[in-house]
Amino acid sequence: MAYKFRIYPDEAQARLFRRTIGCCRVVYNTCLEQKRLERHRSEPRRLTAVDQNKQLGDLKEALPWMKEAPHHCLQQAVIDLHKAFTNFFEGRAAFPKPRRKYQNESFRYPDPKHIMIRDGEIFLPKARWVKIVAHREIVGMVKNVTVSLSGNHWYASIQVEREIDEPAVRDTIDVGGDLGVVHGLVLSDGTVYDLPRMTEKEKRKEENLQRIISRRKKGSRNRARALRALRAFKAKIVRRRKDAKHKMTTDVSRRCDVIYLEDLKVANLTASARGTVDDPGVNVAQKAGSNRNMLDVSPGETRMQIEYKMRRSGGGVYYVNPAYTSQRCSVCGHTEADNRPDRDTFLCLSCGHAACADDNASQNILYLGRKARAGGLPVLACGSNRGAGRKQEEEGSSQIAQAA
């Protein structure tokens, strides 16, 4: 596990951190380009992380300013590149892309022997003692420290290793959860979670900051200052959203033992409707607005947080096919598209049941999940087997939807 704390470097330390980020980016991109060139040679050879780490000395001779960065951080950049290639070849990620300035600005100290922590300070190689606000006790053996920049704030993520007892399995209270656009999450017990959205005032401020950047000369200090202001504004929005989401998912993991969720394919739901030149799309602007609203609540992040928090506390997360869950009546089972007169209302044309559309969908998700587990049909659980069981889960969930 990891602890993330805010740190307060002085001007010299902050300058060192920024240079280290830049040096790690140069190492990463140089090694990536080297591996690309090797692939196109007539007799390509396999470059390992060890081979490329041995060439760091030559790179420092060619670029003397690289010597300012801690050597272990540069070595870790090479290791990160090869982990990215491993994830690509094993189907977990796309082909590695070059790192860009102002994106994912971070670097890692991999050797715990060079890291010390005392009251209010942390020792990092070359930066020496840096002020840190540790709002909770660090339990476990420190393995590495990652320093990152978000907006104008510096953070240190301290990864530790410790032994914990296997949590007792909880399987008493189960609920269904509907991931929505208007509401972040609606549970079948009536609980509604709303996530913070950007206000109209904040949207105007973001537009003004972007307008200021467009009017500044590229490469000027004024443009760099405007870019820093925009990054700081966006980082503030991200921190607020992340705080609310962690509070929501923590409350969910404490409220229930088992939760059933929709197996939404977010990438498909948020695909563009523009189409092609020969076959242009329809309602493009409306679909773009819907995509923005869905990505604003980030359902994928919600599922990930619920998964690891439920797993850590002994609970379970199961996924069901979302087909027709918004059109099916949770009382009589009648399924019809006209049961949804609008986005927020559900009105069954068969039995007259009226309810909030999200609450009705959560009741259907709970029903489908319980029926699947009781009948022995495959319901996809959280964990590493999620991708492997995709086809089996779709087949089983389609049977549930048809039977309902």
In terms of phi and psi (left: phi > 0; alpha: psi -120 to 50; beta: otherwise), the region of 219 is left
Q: ∠105-108-112 over CA atoms, to 5°?
A: 160
Residue 218, Cβ neighbours under 10 Å: how many? 7
**DSSP code per residue over 26-68:** HHHHHHHHHHHHHHTSSS-----HHHHHHTHHHHHHHSGGGGG
51 is catalytic: no
Sign of CA dihedral 351, 353, 358, 359: negative
Q: Which two tokens stand for residue 212?
A: 């200021």
**DSSP code per residue over 153-170:** EEEEEEEEE---PPPPP-
- Of 301, 401, 382, 363, nearest to 175 by C-alpha is 363
| Catalytic residue, candidates 178, 263, 307, 359 | 178
Question: Across the strands, what pairs with 317?
Answer: 259
178 is catalytic: yes
- Of 116, 294, 310, nearest to 197 by C-alpha is 294
Burial class (CB in 10 A: 0-12, 13-18, 19+), 217: exposed
Q: Which two tokens stand for residue 395?
A: 């087949």
Which amino acid, one-letter code, is at 210?
Answer: Q
CB 87 within 8 A of CB 93: yes
**Cα 162 to Cα 160: distance, rounded to the nearest angstrom:** 7
| Catalytic residue, candidates 80, 105, 262, 393 | 262
CB < 8 Å & 24+ apart, contacts of 393-398: 393/263, 393/319, 393/321, 394/321, 396/372, 397/263, 397/320, 397/321, 397/323, 397/368, 397/372, 398/321, 398/323
358 is catalytic: yes
| Catalytic residue, candidates 174, 307, 358, 359 | 358
Sign of CA dihedral 127, 129, 133, 136: positive
CB 108 within 8 A of CB 73: yes
Cite the active site residues.
178, 262, 358
